[in-house]
Amino acid sequence: MPTPDLSRLGEIRSDWTLEEARGVFALPFNDLLFHAQRVHRQNFDPNRVQVSTLLSIKTGACPEDCAYCPQSVRYETHVGREELLDLGDVLDAAQAARRNGATRFCMGAAYRNPKPKQLEQIKAMVREVRALGLETCATLGMLTPDQARELKDAGLDYYNHNLDTSEAFYGEIITTRTYQDRLDTLAAVRDAGLNVCCGGILGMGESDLDRVQLLLTLATLPQHPESVPINQLVQVEGTPLHGLPALDPLDLVRTIATARLLMPKSYVRLSAGRTDMSDAVQALCFLAGANSIFHGEKLLTTPNPGQTRDEELFARLGLRPEAGSAAPAA
């Protein structure tokens, strides 16, 4: 594998080639982490971590067939069907998240795409959560350009819509929507003026090349996502991916470091799967350039480290939560 031009690492660019991206990913581990940490320090305080909280505002009965997801109506899992939460319940959760140090409150609904009545209810949630001084994020499935603009007008700051994996491997994981469908939603979100949150999932049986191609797709968008969540598959009994071999932790670290180098100014979020990571692995991820986490006991329907464990880890590593930046909505 040709060695990439190390002098260009840290540049903000959208013209990465596959050969260059593969060369970055394949760097000797120590060199990769050195350059990732160097570039991270050029763009961020290395000891600050942005903290978000994710709440499932509508759970289960999703018509999609994402092979990793216990909320799909196609699989027999422990996840039942719950209707859209009341506004009061969402605000209670948002206030608790703020008290616990979150600066961004993310609302996830198991939809293929939201219907008009559902969108009206979610817009009210966005307005009220932002009035608390929190940044707002939503993940609701596919959006039309008009829906993206409605959410922007309601005060939404971020929209999450993950690509999950490479385009080549995508059909092994999802058949009910295309890769282009996902790219179209990202385009609608960006055109509406929303910040983009987009990443993927590791440990679904994909190859190293698939991981590189996923990151390359993100890094060659006209504008890099402001937030790049890197998830480790949480295996749930009843889903097609249950029983796969565990992900090599060093592959996770290598992917995070590559994301940091291909998208130097993006927040790289260490997302799902942290309950299966040792403190040492998480520390390596922060060294590799991760600078955001989800805080709280649960991520939608899967477990997440509790507040006490995260506070203890932050104290041991000398990390501090990043201060909030969102102002109350007018």
Cα separation, 289 vs 264, in Å, equals: 9
CA distance 254 to 22: 11
Tokens of 220: 């060659």
Extract the tokens encoding 66. Answer: 């994402």
By residue count, the chain amounts to: 330
> Is 198 part of the annotated catalytic residue set?
no
Q: Which H or E run contains 154?
A: helix 145-154
Is 62 an annotated catalytic residue?
yes
22, 104, 106, 274: the catalytic one is: 106
Q: What tokens were used for 328?
A: 């109350």
Give the other-Cβ count within 10 Å of 128's Cβ.
17
Q: Which of 22, 69, 130, 182 is catalytic?
A: 69
Of 279, 271, 130, nearest in space to 201 by CA: 271
Angle CA 233–239–244, to nearest 5:
50
Query: Which position among 130, 197, 211, 254 bears the catalytic label?
Result: 197
Longest CA–CA separation in the chain, Å: 56
Catalytic residue among 62, 190, 254, 285: 62
Exposed (0-12), middle (13-18) or buried (19+): which is 280, by Cβ within 10 Å?
exposed
**CA atoms in the 13 A half-sphere facing the CB of 112:** 13
Catalytic member of 130, 177, 182, 269: 269
State yes or no: is 269 an active-site residue. Answer: yes
CB atoms within 10 A of CB 60: 17
Q: Between the CA atoms of 8, 4, 286 and 325, what dihedral angle is there, to the nearest 10 degrees? A: 30
Write out the catalytic residue numbers.
Answer: 62, 66, 69, 106, 137, 197, 269
